[in-house]
Structure 1
Amino acid sequence: MGQVEYEVASYTHKRQRAAAVNSHPLILAMTDVDLTSLSHTVVWLTFGLAFVFGAVLQRTHFCTMGALSDIVNIGDWNRMRMWWLAIGVATIGTGLLAWQGIIDPVKAIYTTSRVTWLSYVVGGWLFGFGMVLGSGCGSKTLVRIGGGNLKSLLVFVMIGISAYMTLKGLFAVFRVNALDSVQMTLSTSQDLPTLLKGAFGANVHLAQLVLGLVIGGAFVIAALGRREFWTFDNLLGGLVVGAIIVALWYVSGKVGYLAENPNTLEESFLATNSGRMEALSFVSPLAYTLYWLMMWSDTSNVMTLGIASVAGVISGSFAYAVVSRTFRWEGFYDTEDTANHMAGGVMMGFGGVTALGCTVGQGLSGVSTLALGSFVALAAILAGGVCGFKYQMWRIEMKV
């Protein structure tokens, strides 16, 4: 049988199978129930993990912007080491899951063969600058909302609107035509294990394990290299945050994975907005959360992993703030403070979507897959953050 005849026969077979399912009400009902139940499982597991994530961030003050601020202002690297520890744990854990064949990082959004390097650089830089103006990245914004910060509530809205405009609206036109069009298309996916699998006898799973242990281990060693870092909160923040990224890869890539969805007869990841394997990220999910709330009565509008993670982080942060009696209402100081937070939210929304993620999306989830673009985006985010602090210092000097 030739290739064309094979493809036609395969397509016909799938259509016949789909027709058989659609013609049998009992089978269709059971399929719908099973898929709905499985989607609910993914959503609730995500909410639970995000709840812990929010509570831990509220307690430990885990924050990329805060880590940069500590370095620039007082030369303290402890919060940055906490972030390094989280990256190391996430990378090692992801490598172990891939080595065991439990998940396939190639099916994540970060590891496509299309390397939009200009988008990573420009989007990452804008996100980093914006997170300084907005007093924190996407995850920190949610944590601050849970702690009673009304400024962060405005930042949330601005990120969400700007992100949706960058996904499908006005900003998307510029993103697609001016930034995403500048790209490199590789013959394989852009993750290091796939690119270097030849050195491991073409065994990509072994490459994922070895590179995950080496790169992740380097981050862990760098984090634990100073004795003053060894406090309960620092270890808690780094270890738990990294472990939650790994757990969410399992939830999305294993629990919610269907090799062949009975409704579409195609591979699918249930309860994800991207249709691919997802872990934590806090830019596009903020946009989808706003849309979900505005279109609540639309029955086609369903809860997803990203939306559940947003709700979980706010809830976890709020719960810990109440229990620890640290919940405090906080508002804006003046007009300039308001304008900075609004501008920061817009920059993070546009930058995060353009760079395919934020400090958590690219910096933790993306890096854990060892995608080339994630390292580029992360470097750009850090550079943008440093520039943001330099700008703030310049503004203070101008007022003196």
Structure 2
Amino acid sequence: MTVKKEVKLLWSYKIDKTERWLSEMAEHGWHLTGVNQWTRTFTFKKGNKKNVTYRIQYGPKSRSIPLTLQKEGWDTVVSEGRWLFLKNEEANISLYPTRDEVVRRNRTHAYIFSALAIFQLATHIPIILLSIVSLTSQDDSFFLEDSLWILLFLLAVGIGLAFFAIYVFKAYRRFELREMDATTDLISKGKKMRKFKLGWMYHLEETKTWLEKLAEDGYELEKVTASIFTFREIEPSNIKYECIFEYKVQPSFFTTHKEFGWKLKYSSNMTLLNYSIWAKHYNVDEPVPQFSYDKEEQKQSIKRAFKMNIGISFYLILLLSFSLYMNYSMDEPFITWSFSGVMRPLLLALLLFWVYMFVQILLSYRKSMREYKNY
């Protein structure tokens, strides 16, 4: 029996790519027989060349696949820890195993590594850099050489962790977009027009009305990049827009609404604290489509967005106020040609802006809730 082993260090963060690789191995006659999750080693046995579809699942240990999947031809190849490797040799497959747990697992890893990297960059890296600068000014060359090597090693570890966090997050996000069908619907025709709308996330109801008015004027939203809205010139149309905030997006969120004819125009990079914009065309003689026909659910959506936005603005006001206080000095003018003298007016401008935004969020929420007071 001919056996081959291959190592794939980061296979669990690119599940779809790993599945395709396993299928390609089967096409060349190498069939999966074992996986070591600690050494990241895949074991294959030589056999006949076959077309095999693989799916990788993650979940509780010692579990079996549902009977419905077994009837569709799915069979367990390897069970390793919480990983389950399934295969199907049928030509036409109509039912596939869900990978919600894989998405949740990789999402958790992405957030943990990102948090560690941010903490490392914000706390350790500045201290390490200052220590290096301090040491280079000393005369003790023996002590300097040993200390610098240690600090440079710690610096390399911090930077390496940051790059690894970026890799994990990008791999998870690409996989999640495909699995949750969170890709945006672009428009290929029509002259482009761009508009800048700062702080639109803090005025979701106003943003929705603004987009619908532009549709009546002949401009349909194509995509959103930060605060830049890209439109395509079309015939004046009736388009219903919805700007949604969710604390946590469920795996079926995007697919379900797309099945009802809604087109996704924007989704923020995280499924936690997620903002999204949806659009749906309708005729004049048709009822105006609703993202949700439950008025109580609509009210709760507005309340969720309000709590999130008011919390962010309040936090920024406190942070900017504290920073302004720490940079204030009675011994020098408010504006001077120094670092503190430049930072003070900048901090004050940002503070006034967020105070304005705070008031606008309150007024927008009050206006939105008045529309639903009869429900």
| TM-score range for the pair, normalised by the shorter chain length | under 0.3
More strand by share: 2
TM-score (norm. length: structure 1)? 0.21
TM-score (norm. length: structure 2)? 0.22
Q: Which of these two proteins has the greater Rg computed from alpha carbons?
A: 2
